[in-house]
Every structure is written in structure tokens, then in C-alpha cells.
């Protein structure tokens, strides 16, 4: 069983193969799950989008379709997370830890929401794990729905189009970057975790 789980994770994080063989459809599925369902907190959203952008620059993925459908899935994912939070309410915070759910991640998103308010829905798009739980926190907090939709659409557009186009222009400007895509992915993963590391450092500093 453990070997199967390890192999599954290796497959999921081989984003180059995921995009190459799954195309826009698999990117859409991954983005929806990561943003809409608690089980998606471990999915490689940022590196997947950058890789898709690089592949679009190489002509392996259709850029307009990628931008349109992945953005729609990102928005739909947050909508799903919001309604899950709205339906569960405060019971969400009493949910026990499981393989697919971590209360600590939920509490981090809650703290983020308490600090930034509705802007969390936009800002969280660029922070792994937080972006999975933030919509549910907003739903549980009974955030005004019209305001949520506004921030949701804005955040979805900025995240998907910004990261995908970043990968696209990177692919267009650097010859044969596809041969070194693993280095690009490593850099994206590192950069995406900087906000979390900064917040952990600040929390440690406040405690001290």
C-alpha cells in the first residue's frame, strides 16, 4: 500500500509528464481539485501552470483554450470550496484529521482570513495549501456572496493567467527551455513556498 502511495505521488508531481500526456483537460482537473476540494491541498498547482505555459510556447498546448478553461475551473473550484464551508459552518473546525484533511491547514487559512479579510480570496491564490482552504473558511465565515464572487473571479484570472503567461513568455524567450523544465519547476516550487516560510518566521519572531 505504501509503495502504491509513493508511486502515486511521484506520478502526480511529474508535472512535465502530466501536462504532456494530459494536456489542458488534466490541468483543469488538477486546478479544480486543488482549489475546490480539501483533498487537493498537496497538488502542484503553480508548477503545473508554469509547465503548461512553457508547453504552450512550444506549441504542445493551445494557449487560448488553456487560459480560458483553466481559469473557469479555478473559479469553479473556489465556488465549490465556498459552498462546502457555508454548508458545514463551524462544524468545519471540529472535523478530525484524516489522510485527505488537516485541521492545521484549515487554521492557517483561518488566520490568513482574519488578517486580510476578503482580500484573502485573491492573495491565497498564490500561496500553496492556503488557496485550498481559504474558500471554505470564507464560506464558514458567511462572507458576503457577491463580494466573494468578485474576489474569486479576480483571483482566478490573476493566478491562472499570470502564472501560465509567465511560463509561456519564459518558454518563448529562452531557447530549448523544455530540456531544462525540471529546473524551472524546482524554482517555481521554491518561490511558491517563500510566503509560507516568511509567515512561519514572523510567527516564530512574534512568539519570541
pLDDT, position 4: 38
Give the model's confidence band at 1: pLDDT under 50 very low, under 70 low, under 90 confident, else very high.
Answer: very low
Read off φ and ψ for residue 59, nearest 5 degrees.
85, 10
Confirm if 15 and 51 have CB atoms less than 8 A apart: yes
Residue 196 in this model has a pLDDT that exceeds 90: no
186 has a pLDDT exceeding 80: no
Percent residues over pLDDT 90 in the chain:
33
Rounded Cα distance, 111 and 84, in Å: 19
* Cβ-based burial of 72 (10 A; exposed 0-12, middle 13-18, buried ≥19): middle
- DSSP one-letter code for 62: -
Q: Which of 93-97, 170-174, 180-184 has the lowest mean pLDDT?
A: 180-184
Q: For residue 155, give Cα distances in angstroms to 27, 79, 81, 144, 195.
A: 17, 12, 14, 16, 17
Q: Give 89's contacts (C-beta < 8 A, 6+ positions apart).
A: 140
* 42-68: pLDDT as tens digits: 787 888 898 899 888 888 889 999 999
Q: Residue ranges of the alpha helices (H) in 174-193?
A: 181-192
The rounded mean pLDDT for the chain is 81
State how far the Cα of 2 lies from the Cα of 193, in Å rounded to an integer: 26
- For residue 13, the model assigns a pLDDT of 55
pLDDT band at residue 6, thresholds of 50, 70 and 90? very low
40 confidence band (pLDDT: 50, 70, 90): confident
Please identify which residue in the block is written with the cell numbers 525540471. 182
Q: 47-60 in b/e burial notation, b at 16+ Cβ within 10 A? A: bbbbbbbbbbbeee
User: Can you give the pTM of this predicted structure?
Assistant: 0.81
What is the spatial distance between Cα 9 and Cα 7, in angstroms, rounded to a whole number?
Answer: 5
The reported pLDDT for the residue numbered 93 is 77
> Per-residue pLDDT tens for 120-150?
899 889 888 888 999 999 998 889 999 999 9
In percent, the amount of the chain with pLDDT more than 70 equals 75
30-34, 108-112, 198-202: range with lowest mean pLDDT: 198-202
Amino acid at each position: 500500500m505504501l509503495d502504491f502511495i509513493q508511486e502515486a505521488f511521484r506520478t502526480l508531481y511529474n508535472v512535465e509528464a502530466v501536462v504532456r500526456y494530459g494536456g489542458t483537460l488534466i490541468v483543469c482537473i488538477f486546478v479544480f481539485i486543488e482549489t475546490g476540494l480539501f483533498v487537493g491541498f498537496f497538488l502542484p498547482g503553480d508548477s503545473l501552470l508554469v509547465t503548461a505555459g512553457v508547453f504552450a510556447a512550444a506549441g504542445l498546448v493551445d494557449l487560448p483554450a488553456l487560459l480560458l478553461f483553466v481559469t473557469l475551473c479555478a473559479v469553479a473550484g473556489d465556488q465549490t470550496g465556498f459552498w462546502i464551508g457555508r454548508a458545514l459552518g463551524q462544524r468545519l473546525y471540529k472535523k478530525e484529521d484524516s489522510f485527505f484533511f488537516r485541521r492545521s491547514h484549515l487554521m492557517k487559512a483561518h488566520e490568513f482570513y482574519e488578517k486580510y479579510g476578503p482580500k484573502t480570496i485573491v492573495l491565497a491564490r498564490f500561496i500553496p495549501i492556503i488557496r485550498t482552504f481559504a474558500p471554505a473558511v470564507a464560506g464558514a465565515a458567511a462572507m458576503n456572496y457577491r463580494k466573494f464572487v468578485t474576489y474569486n473571479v479576480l483571483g482566478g484570472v490573476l493566478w491562472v493567467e499570470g502564472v501560465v503567461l509567465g511560463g509561456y513568455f519564459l518558454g518563448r524567450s529562452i531557447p530549448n527551455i523544455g530540456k531544462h523544465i525540471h529546473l524551472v519547476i524546482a524554482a517555481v516550487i521554491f518561490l511558491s513556498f517563500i510566503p509560507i516560510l516568511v509567515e512561519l518566521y514572523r510567527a516564530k519572531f512574534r512568539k519570541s
